[in-house]
């Protein structure tokens, strides 16, 4: 069994309530941080831990905190990004559903470390139930002296506010989130200045993901050095993985960084293998926006080393032979899956969610969607594959925020690894029209 430090208590009846959470060691990190540590010491422990942002980018959390402008007299803010909209990712919602006080505890410690007296949780607009859960947990924490003025008799005061998002994927990008939080349209901002200098209301701001902030609790409880012993290399600690697709046991799993991808996929402790005894065709390890990995690259990297669930191993070889850990949205495709159809489905999403601020993304995602629709519906042209690849490459790296990259990478990688499937769609339009929901792989073998 892998070590669990975030989900180790979710099985305890009533753990969602303050009393049960407190009776089982909850809020100990707040007592330790506020009474025995300085903000600088907390930041140093986070640096020692090697914790990297769990929202997708994987940037070192302690380093991000150290960028916060402490010289100005402006208020400082901590914003929790709970706008979990990445297709295939649902681990933050799981944390909020089952152990909300872990997040509140992490927010209190983090706010103290950053000198923030007002903190916001920006929640995906569709998460109505989760908003209620968070508000209840905040009330309980306040009623028991862990929020409000002079927490635990110290000079530190903190208010936490839950803000419902507007239902836009783009608001998962931190500067678009801040724009939305200020009551404006959620368009990403040009950087610099970065939020650490001019963020919410033009004040120094740190934006962190739900899982990242929850991980602060065990780091403070048993120290950054001990946390860093978990995992492998620069991928320290544990990671929550949202596993879905064609597997026997979909769900949220906490793994130690460095577990092999093959073991995670096939072990009964985790995904339980590909469902119905079918063969694996491909996986997307980090949510829909990262490159797809074909079956032959799932077990080993291009360097012929075991493929591990870590930032470094999953990206080994670059996008030609690797992918990204991203937000941990682990999507599995069996042998019957149609890669063209799935790529079109993802592209429809990104086209719909583009804010339209940048021309390459606004126009390019539309072109990708139209061409993929044409191919998937038996109307593809011979030049379409190269046009798709070209358009995706022209979007990548040419937009203010990463949504353009998120739309381009799935298309580029699908063509790179499954070009023959795209060609088959174009060469056999009548067949494609009749078997859109069947096994493309089977027909490709027959036709060969």
Q: How confident is the model at residue 95 (pLDDT cuts 50, 70, 90)?
A: very high
Question: What is the share, in percent, of the chain residues with pLDDT greater than 70?
Answer: 96
Q: Which tens digits make up the pLDDT trace of 312-352?
A: 999 998 888 999 999 999 999 999 999 999 999 999 999 99
For residues 95-124, average pLDDT: 98
Instruction: Quickly state the pLDDT bin for 445 (edges 50, 70, 90).
Output: low
Tell which residue, 242, 226, 222, 203, has the closest CA to residue 97.
Answer: 242
The confidence score (pLDDT) of residue 293 equals: 96
Place of tokens 């577990």: 259
β-strand partners of 158: 148
- Within 10 angstroms of residue 225's Cβ, the number of other Cβ atoms is 12
Supply the pLDDT for residue 93.
Answer: 97
Give the model's pLDDT for residue 84: 94
pLDDT digits (tens, 9 = 90+) for 409-424: 999 999 999 999 999 9
pLDDT of residue 432: 75
**Residue 205 pLDDT:** 98
Confidence band for 431, pLDDT divided at 50, 70 and 90: confident
Question: Contact, 384 vs 426, CB < 8 A?
Answer: yes
Sorted by where each starts, the structural domains of the chain and their CATH numbers stand as: 18-229 (3.40.50.11540), 240-334 (3.10.20.600), 339-447 (1.20.1440.230)
**pLDDT exceeds cutoff 70 at 251:** yes
Q: What is the pLDDT of residue 207?
A: 98
Q: Is 152 left (phi over 0), alpha (psi -120 to 50) or beta?
A: left
Residue 429: the pLDDT is: 83
In this model, does residue 210 exceed pLDDT 70? yes
């Amino acid at each position: 069994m892998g070590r669990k430090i975030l989900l180790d208590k979710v099985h305890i009846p009533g753990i969602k309530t303050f009393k049960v959470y407190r009776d089982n060691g909850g809020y100990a990190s707040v007592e330790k941080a506020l009474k025995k540590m300085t903000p600088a010491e907390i930041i140093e422990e986070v640096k020692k831990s090697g914790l990297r942002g769990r929202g997708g980018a994987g940037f070192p959390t302690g380093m991000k905190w150290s960028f916060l402008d402490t010289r100005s007299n402006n208020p400082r803010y901590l914003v929790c990004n709970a706008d979990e909209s990445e297709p295939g990712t649902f681990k933050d919602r799981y944390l909020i559903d089952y152990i909300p006080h872990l997040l509140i505890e992490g927010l209190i410690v983090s706010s103290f470390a950053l000198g923030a007296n007002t903190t916001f949780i920006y929640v995906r607009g569709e998460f109505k139930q989760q908003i209620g859960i968070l508000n209840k947990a905040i009330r309980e924490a306040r009623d028991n002296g862990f929020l409000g003025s002079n927490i635990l008799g110290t000079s530190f005061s903190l208010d936490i506010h839950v803000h419902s998002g507007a239902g836009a994927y783009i608001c998962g990008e931190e500067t678009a989130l801040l724009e939305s939080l200020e009551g404006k349209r959620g368009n990403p901002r040009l950087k610099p200045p970065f939020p650490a200098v001019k963020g919410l209301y033009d004040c120094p701001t740190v934006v962190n993901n739900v899982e990242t902030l929850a991980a602060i609790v065990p780091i403070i409880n048993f120290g950054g050095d001990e946390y860093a012993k978990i995992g492998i290399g620069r991928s320290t600690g544990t990671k929550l993985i949202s596993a879905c697709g064609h597997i026997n046991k979909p769900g949220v799993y906490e793994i130690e960084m460095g577990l092999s991808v093959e073991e995670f996929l096939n072990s009964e402790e985790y995904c339980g293998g590909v469902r119905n005894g079918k063969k694996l065709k491909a996986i997307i390890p980090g949510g829909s926006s990262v490159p797809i990995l074909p079956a032959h690259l799932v077990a080993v990297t291009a360097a012929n080393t075991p493929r591990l669930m870590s930032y470094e191993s999953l990206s080994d070889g670059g996008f030609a032979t690797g992918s990204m850990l991203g937000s941990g949205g682990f999507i599995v495709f069996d042998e019957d899956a149609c890669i063209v159809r799935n790529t079109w489905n993802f592209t429809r999403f990104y086209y719909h969610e583009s804010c339209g601020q940048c021309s390459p993304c606004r126009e390019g995602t539309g072109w990708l969607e139209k061409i993929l629709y044409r191919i998937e519906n038996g109307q593809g042209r011979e030049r379409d594959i190269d046009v798709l690849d070209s358009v995706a490459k022209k979007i990548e790296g040419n937009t203010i925020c990463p949504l353009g990259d998120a739309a381009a990478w799935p298309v580029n990688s699908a063509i790179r690894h499954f070009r023959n499937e795209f060609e088959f769609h174009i060469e056999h339009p009548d067949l494609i029209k009749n078997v859109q929901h069947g096994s493309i792989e089977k027909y490709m073998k027959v036709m060969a």
